[in-house]
Amino acid sequence: MNEQLQKLVKQADYDLQQQFAKIDLACMRNSEKVLNAFQKNKIAEVHFGSTTGYGYDDIGRDTIERVFADVLGAEDALVRTQFISGTHAITVALFAMLRPGDTMLSICGKPYDTLDSIIGFDENPSSLKAYQIQYEQIDLVENDFDIPKIVERVAQKNVKLIEIQRSRGYALRYSLTLDKIEKVIQAIRKVNQEVIIMVDNCYGEFVDEKEPVALGADIMVGSLIKNLGGGLAPNGAYIAGRKDLINLAAERLTSPGQGKEVGPTLGINKSILQGLYMAPSVVASSLKTAIFTSYMLEKLGYKVQPKFDEKRADIVQTIEFGNEEKLVKYCQGIQSGSAIDSDSVPMPWDMPGYTDKVIMAAGAFTMGSSIELSCDAPIRPPYVAFQQGALTYEYGKLGVLKAIENIL
Ligand SMILES: *Cc1c(COP(=O)(O)O)cnc(C)c1O
pLDDT digits (tens, 9 = 90+) for 130-146: 999 999 999 999 999 99
Considering the domain architecture, whether residues 143 and 229 belong to the same structural domain is answered as: yes
- pLDDT at residue number 315: 98
**C-alpha 222 to ligand 1 mean position (Å):** 7
The count of domains in the chain is 2
- CB of 87 within 6 A of ligand 1: the answer is yes
- pLDDT at residue number 353: 61
Considering the domain architecture, whether residues 106 and 199 belong to the same structural domain is answered as: yes
Domain that holds residue 367: 3-29+280-407
Considering the domain architecture, whether residues 381 and 294 belong to the same structural domain is answered as: yes
Q: Which of residues 275, 292, 315 is at a domain's end?
A: 275
Q: Which of residues 275, 296, 311 is at a domain's end?
A: 275
- Do 384 and 240 contact (CB within 8 A), yes or no? no
- CB of 175 within 6 A of ligand 1: the answer is no
Residue nearest to atom 5 of ligand 1 (CA): 86
Flag residues of the chain having pLDDT under 70.
Answer: 353
State the CATH number of the domain containing residue 249. Answer: 3.40.640.10
Considering the domain architecture, whether residues 47 and 155 belong to the same structural domain is answered as: yes
Mutation probe of ligand 1 site: the residue of 112, 286, 367 with most atoms within 8 A of C-beta: 112
- pLDDT at residue number 59: 98
Considering the domain architecture, whether residues 59 and 173 belong to the same structural domain is answered as: yes
Considering the domain architecture, whether residues 106 and 68 belong to the same structural domain is answered as: yes
- CB of 112 within 6 A of ligand 1: the answer is yes
Considering the domain architecture, whether residues 267 and 118 belong to the same structural domain is answered as: yes
Nearest atom, ligand 1, residue 115 CA: 10
Considering the domain architecture, whether residues 312 and 238 belong to the same structural domain is answered as: no
Mutation probe of ligand 1 site: the residue of 80, 81, 82, 85 with most atoms within 8 A of C-beta: 85
pLDDT digits (tens, 9 = 90+) for 240-273: 999 999 999 999 999 999 999 999 999 999 999 9
**C-alpha 16 to ligand 1 mean position (Å):** 29
State the CATH number of the domain containing residue 378. Answer: 3.90.1150.60
**C-alpha 389 to ligand 1 mean position (Å):** 14
Considering the domain architecture, whether residues 88 and 224 belong to the same structural domain is answered as: yes
pLDDT digits (tens, 9 = 90+) for 37-80: 999 999 999 999 999 999 999 999 999 999 999 999 999 999 99
- pLDDT at residue number 170: 84
Considering the domain architecture, whether residues 12 and 140 belong to the same structural domain is answered as: no
Considering the domain architecture, whether residues 102 and 226 belong to the same structural domain is answered as: yes
- Mean pLDDT of the residues in the chain: 96
Q: Which of residues 275, 306, 322 is at a domain's end?
A: 275
Mutation probe of ligand 1 site: the residue of 108, 114, 221, 318 with most atoms within 8 A of C-beta: 114
- CB of 111 within 6 A of ligand 1: the answer is no
- CB of 63 within 6 A of ligand 1: the answer is no
- CB of 235 within 6 A of ligand 1: the answer is no
Considering the domain architecture, whether residues 307 and 361 belong to the same structural domain is answered as: yes
